[in-house]
Amino acid sequence: MLLYNVTVIIEDAAAEEWLQWMQEIHIPEVMATGKFVSNRLLKVLDSPNEGVTYCIQYVAENLTEYDDYQLNYAPTLQADLQSKFENRHVAFRTLMEFVG
């Protein structure tokens, strides 16, 4: 099992709009790809950054599913995020493997 983590730092002024968009549109679109078996949305409480920091975590069963998502779905979905919240957020992505 793999954990695909997307960390987003969003400007305070856009945080509420971003959170609603993520919960109602973006996360359901990612899950509709069928490449992930579960997801969760977390708010970082002790972030040293300005703005609000969130982590969105998606669980993939294997590297094949993750790679297919990255190739066929991620570019469009990431472009939607970039377009809607341009210059109001920073995002970085990490792929991790469960070891225990």
pLDDT values of the chain reduced to their tens digit, one per residue, 100 residues? 999 999 999 999 999 999 999 999 999 999 999 999 999 999 999 988 899 999 999 999 999 999 999 999 999 999 999 999 999 999 999 999 999 8
For 9, 12, 37, 68, 86, the CA distances from 40, given in Å and listed in that order, are: 16, 21, 11, 20, 24
Amino acid at 100: G
What are the extents of the domains in the chain?
A: 2-97
C-beta neighbour count of 87 within 10 angstroms:
8
Q: Quick one: which of 4, 10, 80 has its CA closest to 40? A: 4
DSSP 56-72: EEEEESSHHHHHHHHHH
pTM of the model as a whole = 0.94
Quick one: pLDDT at residue 100?
Answer: 80
DSSP letter, residue 86? T
Quick one: pLDDT at residue 48?
Answer: 87
Query: What fold does the segment set 2-97 form as a domain?
Result: Alpha-Beta Plaits (3.30.70)
